[in-house]
Structure 1
Amino acid sequence: MYRKILITTDGSAVSKHTACAGVNFAKQMGADVLVLYVAPEYQYPVYVEIIPPSYPSEEEYLAQMRRVGQEHLGSVLRAAQDAGLRCEGLTAFADAAALKIVEVAEQRQCDLIFMGSHGRSGWGQLLLGSVTNKVLSHTSKPVLVHRLITEPGT
């Protein structure tokens, strides 16, 4: 049914558990996996006239965020490989994470977007996460929203 599933992660504990559930779902479907971490774009300081020496350059920032992305993607990619799935990880840069998720799903021809109901910025169990809600409203692709009943570690 699904040949390629986009699994998102923001690096939070909840997101990692959701991503692993996505890997299990992909295994059941026999689908390939693309794991995506969206990092914020580089921001120049407000006081652009004088950039403090300790402020990272754009190149330093991008390199650091790629390392962070690899850390966040690593456990999910290992789980996919252990499950015998073809998988790929991608760190993308955007200030609007939801729109980047939709864009990557289109560009990489994913059949399904698998994401958590809440991530790093979730409001407990009260509201659907803002990124998830925006993805749902901006894509015509199917989105499987995974909801953890209990927080990881409880």
Structure 2
Amino acid sequence: MYRKILITTDGSAVSRMTACAGVSFAQQLGAEVLALFVAPEYQYPIYVEIIPPSYPSEEEYRAAMARAGRDHVQSIVASCDKKGVRCESMTAFAESAALKIVEIAAQKGCDLIFIGSHGRSGWGQLLLGSVTNKVLSHSKIPVLVHRLLQEPLPE
């Protein structure tokens, strides 16, 4: 049915639990996984004429976010290794995580995006917006939204 599944993570406990479910789903289907972390683009401080010396350079920021991305996708890669699921991982940079997720899925030949939902509804969903909702509205490939029935325990 599905051959390549994009599983995205933001490094949160909810995201890790969703990713674990995504890897199990991929294993059941015999699909491979693309683990993705989307980092925000570098932002210069606004309304400042001189950048403070303690503010990271763009190179330092990108290196730090690449390390964070490797750390965040590592749990997906480890889960795939443990379950015998082929996995590729990557970190991307974008202003809009949702649009980047959709773009990468298309570029890498994924036929499903597996993404989590925090289960907000009503005003919470309206006021906060949602990467998941944006992915749903922009993706041309199927999107499977995994909703946790119980919030993870605090770390």
TM-score range, shorter chain: over 0.9
Residue 143 (structure 1) aligns with: 143
* Structure (1/2) with the larger helix percentage: 2
Deviations 1:21-62 (A, max 9, x none): 000000000001000100000001114531110000000000
Alignment of 1:2-81 (within 5 A): 2-81=2-81
Amino acid at match of 2:84: G
Determine helix, strand or coil for the equivalent of 1:27: helix
Runs of 4+ in 1 over 2 A off after TM superposition: 122-129
Deviations 1:88-133 (A, max 9, x none): 1110001100000000000000010000012xxx758953961000
Alignment of 1:51-130 (within 5 A): 51-118=51-118, 123=120, 127=125, 130=130
Residue 131 (structure 1) aligns with: 131
Aligned length: 151
Cα distance in 1, alignment partners of residues 73 and 99 from structure 2 = 19
Alpha-carbon deviation of 1:153? Answer: 2.0
Q: CA RMSD in A?
A: 1.8
> Bigger shift: 125-134 or 95-104?
125-134
Question: Percent of aligned positions with the same letter in both sequences?
Answer: 69
Amino acid at match of 2:125: L
